[in-house]
Amino acid sequence: MTSRLPWCLLPLALLGPVYSAPSENSSAPMPVPTQSYTDQGSITRQVTSDYSGGYYSNYGSGSMYGSNYISGTSYSTVTTYYKMLVAPPVPPALGEPIPSKKVQASLAKFSPPSMLASFVYEPFFTPLSPLLFSEDLSKARREKLTAYTTARAAAVEALRAKIDSLLAATPEVRQSELSEFARVQTPTLVELENMAEEMRANYVDGRWYETSSNWNSTRNWRLGDNTRWESNIDEIKVALGSAFFQEGLSPAQRRLLRELAMELTDSLKQPTDEIALGTPGPFFYFTPETARIRLPVDMPAELESKIRSYQDEKAALKLELREALYRQDRAFFEFTRVKALKALAEQQAARLARVETLAEEIRQGLALLPNPARPAGIPLRGDATGLISRYLAAKSSWQRAMLAKREKLRNDFPEDRVEFIRLRDTVAIQLVANRRSSDAVKAQRDVALADLEAFNATQSKGYQALARDKEKINSELVSLAKSLASHGGGKSVELLLTEFAYALRQQERWDQFAEYDTAVLQPGLSPEQRRLLFGAALERMELPFGEKF
């Protein structure tokens, strides 16, 4: 397959909106991707057939149509296309270390498409992955994905704005205001979730000559074929695969299956891993599904009872799902499996709703207790504490502004590249324009680029101010460590600095979990709002993708 070479990047101004691709005068709508930036995961091999021994063909030559003796060698090529199915990231437990994403450029032939990072908690994450990898999204699919992403971004922005407006409110007022906002926003979110489920089904089965990506129909093994060779790993594959590809399941069951896959993965560890001293866990699987938290040590008896009921009901639902999948995995006809799973979905619907109700009651009780995941305050002198607090607040504000701007530009210009870029002593946002954009999009982009130039200039000043404050804090901590060490206490300057650095890392990590914490533990939100905010929080963490199927 012939590939275009990407055009060279022009030098970037320090604070510019970055650069725009060479423009074309055409105002035609955005065409189907030209597949010039991927090899479609294809492998082409030459096949040589040796007929030197000769064979008889029934096709004659000339005017003779009898048998004909043929010898020689023929050459042909066979191209095999690789279908990449990527598992979603595994969310970290609240407050735990965030797995670092591999950021260096990869020359690997089969690298997951980066655009997947925008859909880590969506029900269509894995079915979408091969379509993005092969650039095989039809115009209709691309338009619907863009419409969904735009609507979801607006909903997230509205929810974030409401939560931010209530930061200074009392817990009672915050819960009351959020409950009222949930009543207004939830119908829109229900429609969004229905749209996401329709997209999942479309990516799996395809229609009107669209490509499908059904993992269930391509695997040549089933659970129970030979139990001597089975393990939890096989059930993990089926649980996770079914969450995305198996028809007949409800959206709530799909989320529960993703959590079940995580629990089964936990079972691959050594039995004492999570209760070993110095290790995290065990964690409490809460809602939204796949979220995990640590529970307080001392809880009221009534709250403990509700937690046990929640765990028992959820475990029973997972067990029924697991057994049904195992039993139906060997069904000869697909409709048999779908019919059985639909029946189970109807039976479990009321109980799944009860689990959500229990979760909100538990949330109310946990709100009155200290959160064990929240790091302890940093024991420093008043002036150092104030300096660090101001620094962390300013850094968090700067980061939120950068992330929000990038998200907005990505939603406004889905065909463009929008990325962070390091420029000398600062970080900026660059927008790489698609050169086939319509005149209307070009005009809209020109306005956005002018605004981006001013935004980058402001953020650059903020970044440089943060860098200076960081140096001040480091100097202050060194001075404090020397002072404390000189007064005795048995700790060296190096040990004190290590303790300070650890405490600061814990605090900065916690700041990254702000939306995760709100989605899981803030009373007053609807289940749909929690899932929306939880997905947005995971997206901002930029977690590494899971394994390839």
Which residues, in sequence order, are CB contacts of 452 under 8 Å at separation 6+?
Answer: 17, 18, 405, 409, 429, 431
Q: Which residues pair with 548 in a beta bridge?
A: 86
Instruction: Return the pLDDT at 104.
Output: 56
| Long-range contacts formed by 95-103: CB under 8 A, 24+ apart | 95/294, 95/373, 95/374, 95/375, 95/509, 95/510, 95/513, 96/280, 96/373, 97/509, 98/509, 98/512, 98/541, 98/543, 99/543, 99/544, 100/544, 101/542, 101/543, 101/544, 102/544
| pLDDT for the residue 184 | 97
How confident is the model over 431-444, as a mean pLDDT? 90
Residues 6+ apart with CB under 8 A from 460: 14, 15, 426, 427, 428
Confidence class for position 11, pLDDT limits 50, 70, 90: very low
Q: Which of 248, 194, 193 is nearest to 216 (CA)?
A: 248
Q: What distance, in Å, lies between the first and last C-alpha atoms of the chain?
A: 26
Q: What is 50-82 written as a DSSP string?
A: E-TT-EEES---TT--S-EEE-SEEEEEEEEE-
Decide if pLDDT at 32 tops 50. no
pLDDT higher than threshold 80 for residue 60: no
> In angstroms, rounded to a whole number, what is the distance separating the alpha carbons of residues 511 and 182?
25
Q: Tokens for 226, please give them.
A: 């030979």
- The proportion of the chain whose per-residue pLDDT surpasses 90, expressed as a percent, equals 49
Mean of the per-residue pLDDT values of the chain: 83
Q: pTM for the full model?
A: 0.80
Mind listing the pLDDT tens digit for each residue in 319-352? 999 999 999 988 888 899 999 999 999 999 999 9
The pLDDT assigned to 212 comes to 87
Output the DSSP codes for 298-354: S--HHHHHHHHHHHHHHHHHHHHHHHHHHHHTT-SSHHHHHHHHHHHHHHHHHHHHH
Rounded to an integer, the average pLDDT of 51-75 is 53
> How does pLDDT run across 253-301, given as a tens digit for each residue?
999 999 999 999 988 887 787 777 777 778 999 999 999 999 998 899 9
The pLDDT of residue 379 is 65
In this prediction, residue 44 has a pLDDT band, given cuts at 50, 70 and 90, of: low
Distance of CA 52 to the CA centre of its chain: 56
pLDDT for 8 beyond 50: no
Rounded Cα distance, 237 and 222, in Å = 11
Q: Pull the structure tokens for residue 59.
A: 């096709």
Each residue of 209-255: pLDDT tens digit?
888 888 888 888 888 877 777 788 889 999 999 999 999 999 999 99
- pLDDT score at 105: 57
Mean pLDDT on 15-23? 39
Higher pLDDT, 114 or 25: 114
pLDDT, one tens digit per residue, over 179-204 is 999 999 999 999 999 999 999 999 99
Element (DSSP H or E) covering residue 151: helix 139-165
Reported as a single tens digit per residue, the pLDDT across 473-526 is 888 888 888 887 777 667 788 887 887 888 888 888 888 999 999 999 999 999
pLDDT at 103: 57
Mean pLDDT of 397-424: 89
Q: What is the pLDDT of residue 108?
A: 62
**Model pLDDT, residue 381:** 64
Say what the pLDDT of residue 218 is. Answer: 80
What's the pLDDT at 497? Answer: 81
Q: Is the dihedral of CA 149, 154, 160, 163 positive or negative?
A: negative
Q: What are phi and psi of 284, to 5 degrees?
A: -100, 115
The pLDDT tens digits for 115-141 are 888 999 999 999 999 998 888 888 899
Residue 120's φ and ψ, nearest 5 degrees, are -65, -25
Q: Is 286:259 a contact under the CB 8 Å cutoff?
A: no
Is the pLDDT score of 37 beyond 50?
no
| 79 beta partners | 44
Give the residues across from 73 on adjacent strands: 50
| pLDDT for res 435 | 84
pLDDT at 315 over 70: yes
Mean pLDDT for 439-455 is 93
Question: Which letter, b or e, does each residue of 197-206 get, where b requires 16 or more Cβ atoms within 10 Å of its Cβ?
Answer: bebbbbbbeb
The residues near 471 (Cβ < 8 Å, ≥ 6 apart) are: none
Q: What is the predicted pLDDT for the residue at 22? A: 37
